[in-house]
């Protein structure tokens, strides 16, 4: 495929409100983590809008591996200004104008969180400093991509609005990820107070859909891929954690809205509340929706947790604050799984 551009992905972008794109006409938007799922989708969405609506949005992608970037964006890579930078160790420099920044660079692999926690913290803290310093210099608006993991362990049955946080054990090695996210959220607020940076925070639910990258290992993608291929869906845990999801194009629409209308110093949950379920329920839904005959749900428990999975959580994200800005998720879970599988087949 031409950098993993497919009909299903184009259809997703087509259903995003045109006015969300038009707001950024002639603007420069810098995106870190540009070879990750959300970052690459944002850039592809801007390129789609430029072509579809005759706009002149200028995407700037911050990457560590330009070869990977060229593979992801294919023949349209020359439409993106790439900045090669290791945000864990280097300052972020860009000579031209920057009007908006989406900071998505982060370690998201659980195994790395438990094997190389210092690296996770370095990228989280140093990278966010670098981005916010550039934002202060350019007077750019920032959306920081945080995580639902900042909520930690909450009392069961509580709907998690942005002002409710639970317990995170600072002595657990995997806490490097959620604790780092919490600190970076506060860093956004601190830069707002001390340096006048307009920064808001998107606490993303598990994001998936058309546009997932080769080797994507998040559970919902693995479940759908296995079920569609006629393979049993295998869980390494009992699957009792409650999971919150948002389809990829709905997440893109949410981030465009936050870039344009998000309030500085505020956090916003980005989750489709209708897609809340346990991991085991998601696995069974994947089998029922996209699985072939004979596919079963199997448990092969990793009792020692060598994979570094997060502890079981009871979390239900409340997206009321984002909905109040006008966001409305469009893709329900069965359709999301179907569109994901369609994309995986197209992107081979």
Stated pTM of the model = 0.94
H or E segment and range at residue 79:
none
H or E segment and range at residue 71:
helix 66-73
Which stretches does DSSP call E strand in the chain?
A: 28-32, 58-63, 81-84, 100-103, 141-147, 159-160, 199-204, 206-208, 233-235, 242-243, 245-247, 267-270, 277-278, 297-299, 316-317
H or E segment and range at residue 288:
helix 279-290
d(CA 20, CA 268): 17
For residue 130, give the nearest of 162, 101, 171 by alpha carbon: 101
Q: What is the pLDDT along the chain (348 residues), one digit of tens a residue?
A: 445 679 999 999 999 999 999 999 999 999 999 999 999 999 999 999 999 999 999 999 999 999 999 999 999 999 999 999 999 999 999 999 999 999 999 998 888 999 999 999 999 999 999 999 999 999 999 999 999 999 998 887 789 999 999 999 999 999 999 999 999 999 999 999 999 999 999 999 999 999 998 878 888 999 999 999 999 999 988 888 888 999 999 999 999 999 999 999 999 999 999 999 999 999 999 999 999 999 999 998 766 655 656 667 789 999 999 999 999 999 999 999 999 999 999 987
Q: Do 105 and 31 touch, CB atoms closer than 8 A?
A: no
Alpha helices in 210-247 (DSSP H): 219-228
């Amino acid at each position: 495929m031409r950098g993993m551009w497919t009909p299903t992905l184009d259809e997703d972008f087509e259903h995003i409100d045109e006015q969300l794109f038009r707001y950024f006409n002639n603007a420069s938007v810098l995106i870190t983590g540009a070879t990750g799922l959300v970052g690459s989708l944002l850039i592809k969405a801007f390129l789609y809008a430029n072509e579809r609506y005759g706009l002149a949005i200028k995407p700037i992608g911050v990457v560590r591996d330009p070869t990977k970037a060229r593979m992801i964006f294919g023949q349209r890579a020359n439409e993106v200004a790439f900045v090669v930078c290791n945000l864990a160790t280097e300052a972020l420099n860009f000579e031209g104008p920057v009007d908006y920044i989406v900071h998505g660079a982060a370690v998201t692999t659980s195994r790395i969180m438990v094997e190389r926690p210092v690296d996770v913290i370095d990228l989280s803290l140093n990278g966010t400093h670098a981005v916010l310093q550039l934002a202060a210099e350019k007077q750019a608006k920032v959306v920081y991509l945080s995580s639902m993991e900042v909520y930690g362990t909450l009392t069961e049955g509580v709907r998690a609005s942005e002002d409710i946080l639970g317990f995170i054990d600072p002595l657990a090695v995997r806490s490097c990820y959620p604790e780092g996210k919490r600190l970076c959220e506060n860093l956004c607020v601190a830069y707002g107070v001390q340096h006048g940076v307009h920064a808001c925070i998107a606490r993303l639910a598990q994001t998936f859909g058309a546009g997932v990258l080769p080797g994507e290992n998040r559970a919902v993608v693995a479940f759908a891929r296995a079920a569609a291929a006629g393979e049993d869906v295998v869980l390494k845990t009992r699957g009792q954690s409650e999971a919150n999801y948002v389809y990829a194009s709905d997440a893109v629409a949410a981030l465009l809205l936050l870039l344009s209308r998000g309030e500085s110093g505020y956090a916003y949950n980005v989750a489709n509340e209708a897609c809340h379920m346990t991991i085991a329920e998601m696995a069974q839904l994947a089998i029922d929706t996209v699985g072939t005959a004979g596919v079963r749900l199997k448990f092969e428990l990793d009792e020692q947790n060598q994979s570094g999975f997060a502890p079981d959580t009871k979390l239900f994200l409340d997206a009321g604050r984002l909905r109040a800005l006008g966001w409305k998720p469009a893709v329900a879970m069965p359709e999301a799984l179907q569109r994901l599988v369609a994309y995986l087949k197209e992107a081979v």
